[in-house]
Amino acid sequence: MAPNSTPPPSGVYVPAVLFFDENEDLDVPAIKAHVLRLAKGGVTGILVQGSNGEAQHLSHDERKEAIRLTRQTLNENGFEQVVIIAGTGAQSTRETKKLCADAAEAGAAYCLVLTPGVWPGQMTPANILKFHRDVADASPIPTMVYNFPVVTAGLNLDSDIIGELAQHPNIVGTKLSCGTIGKLHRLTSTVPASKFATFPGVSDVFLQGLVSGSAGLIGALPNVAPKAHMEVYRLYKAGKLQEAEKIQALLGQADWELGKLGSIGGIKAVVSKSFGYGNTNVRGPLSAAAVTPSSTLKLEELITFEKSL
């Protein structure tokens, strides 16, 4: 267990997509270019192997390499302060512990842990609590609870369970990809922010989350527009709520479009088209997404705004 576990600093974190070449091998130049653009965009941290990073499609060695490559790229370019969170979800406690140890070795500061979902009927509240506590006990770096019902066979951890896990000395935060503001607010109002960071996992409730005491955002859309998200964060912190609301409205519309494009494939298609690196390759069984002007009106508006910042 990590000594003196503190939560990640508040701000904007991006679950970075991972680029592949035509053979579905890591496209190192594109991965580095993406990490660098995100860092230059001002993000607080990068989540390597979030669901957008195709973690479940990678070998252990590839997962470790993606973290190492991200840390190296940041350090070589003067972005040592950018935090790395590593997704370490797996279907057994044993494998999850191994991935946490690998992540620490490769340069991650935190682990984000999905609840196993192959046997949802077996995942009683007691089993969920035991799984996350066992992983946190063994992890050399602090862990965070990743609640994403879409990829865990519908398991949706409530505020009672997450609140109990927050009492563990090595569990320091959560990513709520369920996007439930009520749940987020219950957690922020009962668990001190100095001990536990609560992040929404979708951009369409970014500002609403901040108003409810969140630590910021861990979301997919900053892959496209990191600066726009940092601008919302800055305006909110400066008390300029109306200005922040205008940008938030655009983020919500663009996030919706991105979801309809097919998330991971959609992000890669939009990024490669708009920023001049990478490609649309995903690992099967995912399929590449095609971007048409009519399907990306709000995304185009957001990208124009992003490039103006």
For the chain, the C-alpha Rg in angstroms (whole number) is 18
Helix 93-106 to helix 60-76 angle, to the nearest 10 degrees?
Answer: 30
Residue 40 annotated as catalytic: no
CA distance 101 to 119: 25
- Strands (E) across the chain are located at 11-15, 45-48, 83-87, 110-114, 143-147, 171-176, 197-200, 216-218
Q: Which residues are known binding-site members for pyruvate?
A: 218
**What single letter denotes the amino acid at residue 87?**
G
Residue 144, classed as helix, strand or coil, is strand
C-beta of residue 43 within 8 angstroms of C-beta of residue 13: yes
The residue from 32, 64, 110, 146 that is catalytic is: 146
The residue from 32, 97, 175, 268 that is catalytic is: 175
Residue 83, classed as helix, strand or coil, is strand
Neighbour-count burial for 120-129, b at 16+ CB within 10 Å, e otherwise: eeebeeeebe
Number of neighbouring beta carbons within 10 Å of residue 153: 14
Residue 233 annotated as catalytic: no
DSSP string across 267-300: HHHHHHHHHS-------TTS------GGG-HHHH
- Which residues form the catalytic set? 146, 175
